[in-house]
Every structure is written in C-alpha cells, then in structure tokens.
Structure 1
Amino acid sequence: MPSNKTVVAAAMLAAVAGAVASLYVQPTVAYKLAGTELGQRALGHLLAAKAPAPPAGLKIAERGGIVPAMTLHTLDGLPAEVPQAWAGTPTLVNLWASWCAPCLKEMPDLQAFSAQHATTGVQVVGIALDDVASARTLLTRLGVTYPNLVDPPGPTDAGVRLGNPAGVLPYSVLVAADGRVLKTHIGPFANQAAIANWVQPWETRGLR
C-alpha cells in the first residue's frame, strides 16, 4: 500500500496537471502554475503526451543526462558543436523565433541577466529556430549581444533534441558546465528576477 506521502504527492501532481491543462481554457491559471517547478514538470508531461513522436533514433536530452551532440551554426554561418561549445561554462540556453511575441518580450530580460553574469556566472546562449536574416534583424533591433545560434525549425531541430517535442516557444534549458541538463522551462520568464530565481539554486552549487 502506498504511503500517505506518496498518495499526497500523486494527488498534487494530478491536480497541477489538471490545472495546467486549463491552458486551453484558462490561460491565466496555467500561466501562474507554469511559474512553479511542479507546474513546469506537469506541463512538460502534458505537452510531451500531445506531441508527435520524434523521428526514430533521434537522441533527446533528458534531465540529468548529457546534451546530445549536434552541429548548429552562428549568425555568420560558422559551425558550432554543441554541447562542446559550452564546455566548462554553465549555460542558460534559450530557444526562440522571430515570429514568437513572448520570445521577443523576454529577451531584454535575458540580455540584462546575461550582462549581470557576464564574468562570474551563467552565460546565456540563444538558439533561433529561424532563418539567419530574421534572427539577425530581431537581435539588432532588441540590442541583444549574448551569443546566438540558428537552426532551421523542423522535427529534428535543436528544440526537439533539447527535450521540447511539442515545439513550444520560448523554451529554456539550464546546462551544467559538464553538459548535463539540470532543468527546463516551457514558456516565457515573467521578468529578470524570475530568470535569476530559476537559475539561483543551481548557481549557488556551482552548476558542476
């Protein structure tokens, strides 16, 4: 017979999952729940269940596992081998697209976070699931200076490989210095403080 703690935990997860499902009928409720770790996990399970299955053999990032090797490109067309490109540096990876309004809204907060942690903390790297011209235009307009890579959107794009088969944007992944996935965040951060709070528990442990 399961313990009382197990029953309560299961009930809480079921309740959160049900509430997160209200994203389709009560966006405000779902948005608030998505700001919690429990809500994020429930939302992830819900979206993964509704998402199409990834192509057979495609390696997908899992929490606690190493980011699958992939080759992306800089805005100048140079290849970037991931996760080797981030080796030794804790990284907040943010996936976005030029047509995604919530992505563009949170990018100034990511820029501010990046500037604050430029020398001692977590680096920010964007991955635009877009074409180079559109990505470059938006980054220039928003004054974003942290590194950005590009990858054409599709069933095997970087978002899918980083654990987002449903393709919801924005989508962020916190990667440790050794390439392990620590946590993920579906949807936009509310503000710079929300970004710092999401990273902070891991940052104080050195993200190693």
Structure 2
Amino acid sequence: MTQPVFLAILVLVATLAGMAGFGFYHFTGAPEAAPPTAPSLASHLNEIKGSQRPDFSLPDLDGDIRHISEWDGDVVLINFWATWCPPCIREMPAFVEVQETYGEQGVTIVAVAIDNEQDVRDFYETYGLNFPVLLGETAGIAVSRDYGNRIGALPYSVLLDREGIIRFVKPGELHQETLEDELRPLL
C-alpha cells in the first residue's frame, strides 16, 4: 500500500470515528438544558386561569352537534383524550365515578376525543362512560389549543366554574383526588 493511499484511509477512518463520537455524545451523553418551553408553558397555563372559556361545537356519538354553552351553569371538566393514550384510559374510571357522585350537584364531564369514531364508540360501550363524549379528531386538537394546550398534551383537562371561567388546567393524567379537591370549592 502506498503512503498516499494509507494516509487517505487513515484520514477517512479518523473522520468517521470523530463523527461517530460526536453523534454518540450528542444523542446519548450531552448534558441537556431545561426545555425552553417549560417555564413559558407553566406561565401560559397560569395566564389562562381566570379567563372566559372559548366557545366550540363538536358532534357527539349520535352525530348531534353539541355546543359547550349547553352546560352553562354547571361546573364542567373538559377532558381531551384518545383511546390509544394509556394515561387517558387510566383517568376514565375516576371520571365515571366523579360524574356519578357529583352529577346531581351540577357537575358535567365533557370528554373530547382526539380519535376516530369507531374506536371512541367501542371505548364508550366497553367502559360504560356516563358523560357526554364529543368527537374531536382534528377539530378537537384546535379546540384543545384554544384552551391553552400549546404542546398537544393528552390527556389535557380544563375545569370551568358555573360562569364558564377557567379555574384549573392539567396537562397529563388527572387523578381523582386532585379533581375532587379542585371541584369541591366550585360547587
């Protein structure tokens, strides 16, 4: 092997090794700074608390168009969810129980499914949901964004008081105890 060929191979091997090392460090070992959106998201969620709920209309499982104003005067939990979302599925039994316990006191859970109709229909029947389920799909994502969900989190829950003022917002799984703690002062 001639010296120029040997040097070319050596340079190529060194370059590839350097690229591999950089890639390994960058993708596995590089220290990460806090995501820049974390503080701005928390700040944004605090800003929407105390604001009037945005209006929206979506179809229910019967194909009827339902408007959020239909539940004016109730304490309303709007929950954005999907059948393929494990934390969304874990929340549903608690929501059924909360609706059963507090429904007569003017509490309504409105579930906005970011999912296809057949999967939602199957889920509704299997889990015995006792509250309105609206079919959001793509329109539901836009409604979720209007309610402050800038990152597209699922589940995402928004609690409204009887005047339609946003009082509590929770991206991620909402546990029954937390929901009831937020709900009781609004009854």
Q: TM-score, normalised by structure 2?
A: 0.71
Match of 1:73 among 48, 59, 69: 59
Task: Find the partner of 2:93 among 108, 112, 135.
Answer: 108
Could you list the per-position Cα deviations for residues 61-100 of structure 1 after superposition, in whole angstroms to 9, with x for gaps in the alignment?
A: 9222221222211111111122x12211111111101111
**Residue aligned with 1:115, SS:** helix
List runs of 5+ in structure 1 lacking aligned partners.
Answer: 1-20, 23-40, 49-60
Structure-to-structure mapping, 1:125-164, within 5 angstroms: 125-153=110-138, 157-164=142-149
Deviations 1:95-127 (A, max 9, x none): 101111110011001111110011014221111
Q: What amino acid does structure 1 have at the position aligned with 2:41? A: G
Contact 1:44 1:186 in 2 (8 A): no
2:182 aligned partner: 198
Aligned match of 2:4? none
Post-superposition offset of 1:155: 8.8
Alignment length (residue pairs): 151
- Kindly report the root-mean-square deviation, in angstroms, between the aligned alpha carbons of the 2 structures: 2.6
- Partner Cα distance (2:180, 2:115) in 1: 27
Q: How does 1:1-208 map to 2 (within 5 A)?
A: 44-45=41-42, 62-82=48-68, 84-153=69-138, 157-190=142-175, 192-200=176-184, 202-203=185-186, 206=187
- Tell whether the 8 Å contact from 2:141 to 2:152 is kept in structure 1 after alignment: no
Partners of 2:133 and 2:39 lie apart in 1 by 29
The structure 1 segments of at least 4 consecutive aligned residues displaced by more than 6 Å after TM superposition are: none
Q: Is the contact made by 1:73 and 1:80 (CA closer than 8 Å) also made in structure 2?
A: yes
Aligned-partner residue type, residue 80 of structure 2: L
SS in structure 2 at match of 1:182: strand
User: Whole-Å Cα distance in 1 between the matches of residues 56 and 98 of structure 2?
Assistant: 26
Compute the TM-score of the two structures, normalised by the length of structure 1.
Answer: 0.65
d(CA) in 2 for partners of 1:155 and 1:108?
22
